[in-house]
Amino acid sequence: MHRDTYRIFCVMASVLNPVFGLVYQITDPEAFDPLWARLVLSVAALLLLSLSYMVRWVEENFIALVRGYFYLLIVFIIGLTTWNDFSYQYTMGMLFAITGMGIAFSLGLRAHIAPLQRYLLFTVALTVVAGLFVSEPGANVWIVWACAASTALVIYVVAYAKIKAEELVVASEHRYHTLMNAASDAIFIAEPDTGRLLDANQKALEFTGQSLEAFRRMRLRDLFPEPDRDHYAALLDAHVFGEEPITEDLFIVGESGEPIPVDLSASRVDIDGRPVIQCIFRRHRYEQQLIQAKERAEELLRLKTSLLNNMSHELRTPLTSILGFSEILSEEATGSLKEHADVILSGARRLHETVNSVLGLAQLEGGQPSLELQTLDLVEHLKEAAGYLNPLAEQKGIALQTVYRVAPAYISVDAACLGRIVNNLVGNAIKFTEFGEVRIVVEATAAHVRLQVQDTGVGIAEDFLPRLFEEFQQESTGLARSYEGSGLGLAITKRLVELMDATIGVESTKGQGTTFVVVFPRVTPMPRASAGRPEPANTDRKRVLLVEDNPSTRALIRLRLAEFCEVEVAADPSSALALAEATTFDALLLDINLGDRMDGVDLLHALRQTPRYAQTPSVALTAYAMPGDEERFRAAGFDHYLAKPFTKEQLLRLFPRLFPTDRLVPSGPLEAVPHPG
């Protein structure tokens, strides 16, 4: 607005300046008034105006440049008046210029009056000084000075009043918009005659997804959906002007373009003496109920997560002892005692698998878990998996065959996720096959690697196949179901496959067998640098500090690691700190929930304060195994993470990671060796 005012002044100055010069030359040919100087000033005004549209710097500094032009022009006009001895016509022209330029200057003010004050003082002072240099003035200089001073004073007072009035208006508008935006409902202000929207609060902008500028180009009726626009507009008119209640549901167009049910309250009000229509839209009570239902569902989800966290810890802690000691009994017992121990071990593994399945599903439902993708050879991975799955097949009297039609077959996957996929598919194939064989087949093309798991088992009915990968779905259900299981394995398998940009499919014939096919993108491995000549392994016996408040878990870990290192145990943080002070340990195995004022994370931080334990390898040994727990403990400073319950193989795989020798030891998360449940 201020910039446009000054642009108008540039146009007027470029026209009036030479016009006044021509008039003076006609009325007083002997007067000194170089027309070329006036033309230069006119061209300067036009040039300034043009550059304000074309040059960014001129546009940004346009107001300051025009004010500089004001000073130049008034000096020129007062100078001409002085040169012509304050003749009546030049004196009148000077006073006209002082008045007009003072008004133009004041119209371009924003919030500060100081620029106008300086300009008026300069003008009056220059007029007084000029009058002193004229010996025989044509006009009475005292009257000229009085006119210039009074004109400047009037312009200053009017401009000051205008600025203060604008400040009051701005303050009033600010309070008005503050109150409007504080409302929880959508409020629209419209003209009563045309329905043109004048204003809206922030809630209305969020409600409809429109900007305030877009609103001001719309009418009130445009808020309603197209099919019912005329009907709703008529209801609104009758409600506002006829005071008739609105008894039917109304809809307005929401941010996504979908109709939103609302309750409407409208009335005629005066704002600053101007009659307007104020419309208040509230979300329909049904939508409020949906919002409340959503909030209840979110609260239930939080409670579910808390319950799973607690159940995870309470189940895993005793399961650690059951699984660990049943493994020891199975290894050391003979005869019937070994058979009994194997039954306990089988039940513990099944319970372990069920807990992992439930918690794994919770992790997948909670969002995408973080994957540690690495390039590995699928064939080598399957050879290792076949080693621990083959005894399960032998127990059922069926053959587990592997067919590798391509080797190596490199894929980019998370090793733990791949292990779970293979375990679920091959484990299911063995479980549902009573006679015949299970075959693991690997094929490859230039772009893909195909993993097939084929069995000659019971097969799957055609009508059950669409529900095969859904949670808790089993073909055999009820009291007469033939096979145990949670119904989660294939649902988790499918989600893990898709997380790694792979696909899974199934073909089956009831009574003849089933084939699962997983297709991975094939990758090219990066060349590995030569490892060089290996250094001899360090054969010194290591000392490990184990801090665990559960006596059976302490005994289990001490028994398992006794062959490899010396294990000192502490049941609480105070004892652990005392042991660490008296003895230097090579590794730290710390439980997290120690039942004391200090947990495992606090204990690790306390030990890290001692220089000799600043770099000591540490393991978070915990039953906290919900989504994000491993990342949380690693971020707290732990080097490794071992979730309870753990198997013998998992615990022993931890040892070379704590004390690597010349061998290349993986640094990814430690995963339990899977066992089909």
CATH topology of domain 293-365: Helix Hairpins (1.10.287)
Q: Which of 330-339, 567-576, 667-676 has the highest mean pLDDT?
A: 567-576
Residue 243 banded pLDDT, cuts 50, 70, 90: low
Look at 137 and 620; give whichever has higher pLDDT. Answer: 620
Residue 638 banded pLDDT, cuts 50, 70, 90: very high
CATH class as words, domain 373-521 = alpha beta
Query: Is pLDDT of 136 > 50?
Result: yes
Query: Is pLDDT of 36 > 90?
Result: no
Residue 532 banded pLDDT, cuts 50, 70, 90: very low
pTM here is 0.42
- The alpha carbon dihedral of 485, 490, 495, 499 has a sign of positive
Token code pair at residue 386: 């076949």
Q: Which residues are CB-contacts of 447 (< 8 A; sequence separation ≥ 6)?
A: 521, 522
CA dist 368 → 323, 360, 624 (Å): 30, 11, 19
User: How far is 570 from 551, CA to CA, in rounded Å?
Assistant: 10
The pLDDT, as a whole number, for residue 455 is: 92
Residue 590 banded pLDDT, cuts 50, 70, 90: very high
Characterize the bridge pairing of strands 373-377 and 259-271. unpaired
Q: Is 441 exposed, middle or buried (0-12, 13-18, 19+ CB in 10 A)?
A: middle
The pLDDT, as a whole number, for residue 97 is: 82
Spatial contact of 264 and 239, defined as CB atoms under 8 Å apart: yes
Spans of all domains in the chain: 2-177, 185-283, 293-365, 373-521, 542-658
Instruction: Specify the long-range contacts of residues 139-145, CB closer than 8 Å, at least 24 apart.
Output: 139/86, 139/87, 139/88, 139/91, 141/86, 144/86, 144/91, 144/94, 144/95
Look at 178 and 402; give whichever has higher pLDDT. Answer: 402
Reported as a single tens digit per residue, the pLDDT across 267-300 is 777 766 666 666 666 665 556 666 777 788 777 7
The pLDDT, as a whole number, for residue 481 is: 43
Spatial contact of 327 and 634, defined as CB atoms under 8 Å apart: no
76-95 mean pLDDT: 83
63-73 mean pLDDT: 84
Look at 674 and 493; give whichever has higher pLDDT. Answer: 493
The pLDDT, as a whole number, for residue 617 is: 92
CA dist 535 → 530, 541, 663 (Å): 14, 17, 9
Reported as a single tens digit per residue, the pLDDT across 563-579 is 778 889 998 999 999 99
Query: Is pLDDT of 329 > 60?
Result: yes
Reported as a single tens digit per residue, the pLDDT across 403-415 is 999 888 899 988 7
- The alpha carbon dihedral of 142, 143, 149, 150 has a sign of positive
Whole-number average pLDDT of the chain: 78
Residue 521 banded pLDDT, cuts 50, 70, 90: very high
User: How far is 496 from 421, CA to CA, in rounded Å?
Assistant: 7
Look at 302 and 72; give whichever has higher pLDDT. Answer: 72
Instruction: Say which CATH architecture domain 185-283 belongs to.
Output: 2-Layer Sandwich (3.30)
Query: Is pLDDT of 519 > 90?
Result: yes
Share of the chain above pLDDT 90, in %: 10
CA torsion angle for 142, 146, 149, 152 (degrees, to 10)? -130
Query: Is pLDDT of 535 > 80?
Result: no
The pLDDT, as a whole number, for residue 363 is: 60
CA torsion angle for 176, 179, 181, 185 (degrees, to 10)? -120
58-83 mean pLDDT: 84
The pLDDT, as a whole number, for residue 643 is: 83
User: How far is 456 from 397, CA to CA, in rounded Å?
Assistant: 13
Count Cβ atoms below 10 Å from residue 329 Cβ, excluding itself.
16
Residue 503 banded pLDDT, cuts 50, 70, 90: very high
Instruction: Say which CATH architecture domain 542-658 belongs to.
Output: 3-Layer(aba) Sandwich (3.40)
User: How far is 212 from 562, CA to CA, in rounded Å?
Assistant: 74
Residue 353 banded pLDDT, cuts 50, 70, 90: low
Helix (H, G, I), strand (E, B) or coil at 540: coil
Residue 360 banded pLDDT, cuts 50, 70, 90: low
